[in-house]
Amino acid sequence: VDVLDLNSLSILDPLEDFLDAHLDRFIAGVRKGRRPQGCPLFNDAIGDGHFSAAGSEVWGERVGRRLLLLMDADRAVRRRGQDSPRREGP
Amino acid sequence: MKIPVFRRRTVRHRQRVLAFVDRVVRREHFFKRAIIVLTGVVIILILRAFPWGRYLSASIDAWARSTFSVALGPDRSRAGIDASWRNFRRREIELSRPRVERFYAESDPAFQKLLRYAGMDPEHGLLRWGNYNWTLLLSSKVFEPDDDGRSYRMRPGLRSIWLRNLAIRAGVPAYYLVPDGPGLADAIRGTSAIVLESSRQATNSWGLRGPEPDPDAPLRGIVLGDSFMQGMFIGDAETPPDCLRRYLQREMKSRVSILNAGVMGYSPEQYYYSLTAFGRQFRPHFVVVSVFANDFGNDADVAGRGVGDWQEGKYWLHNTIKYCRARGWPCLVVAAPVEGSLLNKRNSGYYPGTLANILDLESTLFLDPMEDFVNAHLRAYSPGERRDRLPLRGSLFNDDLHDSHFSAAGSEVWAEAVGRRLVPMLGEIWPGRGEDTSGHDRGDESCE
């Protein structure tokens, strides 16, 4: 993040969402009496560190939300005849 | 008869060098120097050009610094460090006192009257260390000394308010949080001071901002922090801890009491001593530690270059975490976002990245709410009239006051991010969810 010369709005670190989702699933599993082994958001079950289906869902939701917000802000700027918020920063 | 003595004349023989030999020797020296310089240049080029070279260079640098620091440095034991801080703070206060006296003497009578009203004149002003390595001039009517580690604390049961538009000329950082009493209007007459009505604040009987603590509430939490948590220039109901209280009440369907131990100018050492001062009496179910870049040194250096006293901060934060662990209290460390990093280039690798790296903390107990702030900022986006200014409506920071602390809207975003993390954590350890039948207010209010 430090070395990229990018506006903050153009960078997304979804780690906190993954942590929240992990905690939600972990607690839900414990309540059902099935304490999850590892993180259900990754393919831990098969010894792989890529996203599981649930992890993909979290990633997609997070990235989609940011994209929609960026496009909304972009539209708002265009309506007022100003520059893109990604260049100038809302 | 005198015997003649033949003394040997010492003649300095200087062997002459033929010109062509001299040229050869000079060329040889030049050639050797050129080889040394060229070798150096090649090494530098390799170190700069290749990633592994840069890594090697950084490693050698770090090793050399550490070796010299251990070999030549002063006493590195904790007792030695504490003693050196004590001396530094005492010396800085001694140096600041004459500056305050001079500042007072040079002020006009109206301003002197205001300083006397606020308890900030040389005779009564409170000079204490804060903000990691600063010496602060505080109102002795709003704050009182604390010699048990916190340096200073707010007086209990007191109403106070911020004055703005006062240039800091004291030679010492001066905070104009002054008593909100009947004499205030008269005290500011003739000065440039403006009373910031929205900043009115009250302290409870524990000397902390916010409602009276309830040690019998079904769910209790302590928030440790600095001016971000105390709530700079915002109302009592708009501080981040009070927003968190309402969020948890809604989500946990229970009465919640949050002890807002945030005090402006505090840093990790004071967070730790705040916890030890209130923890036993309040018996919290969780602790939140709010940190900011200036906890580790100059905020611009920390946030912009990653340069700060990370080890000192780490020491006190680890003490705080250990204190919580020993009592079974989950301790969530939350990094307050830097406004510049939100609106311009992000440098989160320096701050809070460095902090996340050095703290011995599992990932779920460290929260960087930056992405929530970015999303909230985009949601509130409505272009302002001037293109060189940020839109004021919906701003998450006190931009309209040229201040970079959270606004009421920013407090709300912070509280939601922290609450979202706490709810599942508390769900695991706290059995009382939804079981509050006391009839107390469970908070359907919103922060704004």
pLDDT at B443: 43
Name the amino acid, one letter, at A9.
L
pLDDT bin (cut points 50, 70, 90) of residue B169 is low
pLDDT at B262: 98
Spatial distance between the Cα atoms of B86 and B317, rounded to a whole number of angstroms: 19
Mean pLDDT by 10 residues, chain A (90 residues): 86 95 89 84 92 97 94 80 48
Smallest Cβ–Cβ distance between B387 and the set A62, A76, A82 belongs to A82
Of B27-41, B73-87, B403-417, where does mean pLDDT reach its minimum?
B73-87
pLDDT bin (cut points 50, 70, 90) of residue B440 is very low
A89–B344 C-beta distance less than 8 A: yes
Contacts of B356 in chain A (CB under 8 A): none
pLDDT at B56: 64
pLDDT bin (cut points 50, 70, 90) of residue B235 is very high
Its pTM stands at: 0.82
Tens digit of pLDDT for each residue in B393-410? 458 999 889 899 999 999
**Which one, of B152, B95, B434, lies nearest residue B266 by Cα?**
B152
User: Concatenated DSSP letters for A69-80?
Assistant: HHHHHHHHHHHT
A2–B350 C-beta distance less than 8 A: yes
Q: Directed axis angle between helix B408-429 and helix B240-252, to 10°?
A: 40
A6–B425 C-beta distance less than 8 A: no
Minimal C-alpha gap between B249 and chain A (Å): 19
Tens digit of pLDDT for each residue in B48-62? 666 556 556 666 766
B349–A1 C-beta distance less than 8 A: yes
Nearest CA in chain A to B304: A2
Q: Tokens 């709810």 sit at which residue?
A: B423
Smallest Cβ–Cβ distance between A2 and the set B347, B381, B391 belongs to B347
Three-state SS letters, B201-259? EEECCCCCECCCCCCCCCEEEEEECCHHHHCCCCCHHHCHHHHHHHHHHHHHCCCEEEE
Spatial distance between the Cα atoms of B406 and B141, rounded to a whole number of angstroms: 26
B421–A20 C-beta distance less than 8 A: yes
Is the bond preceding B352 in cis, omega lying within 30 degrees of 0?
yes
Contacts (Cβ under 8 Å, ≥6 apart) of A61: A17
pLDDT bin (cut points 50, 70, 90) of residue B432 is low
Minimal C-alpha gap between B59 and chain A (Å): 19
Tens digit of pLDDT for each residue in B110-123? 999 999 999 999 99
User: Quick check: B388 pLDDT over 50?
Assistant: no
Tens digit of pLDDT for each residue in B292-318? 999 999 999 999 999 999 999 999 999
User: Quick check: B26 pLDDT over 70?
Assistant: yes
pLDDT at B342: 86
A76–B368 C-beta distance less than 8 A: no
pLDDT at B79: 92
User: Quick check: B389 pLDDT over 80?
Assistant: no
Contacts of B353 in chain A (CB under 8 A): 1-2
**Segment B196-216 mean pLDDT:** 96
Contacts of B343 in chain A (CB under 8 A): 8, 89
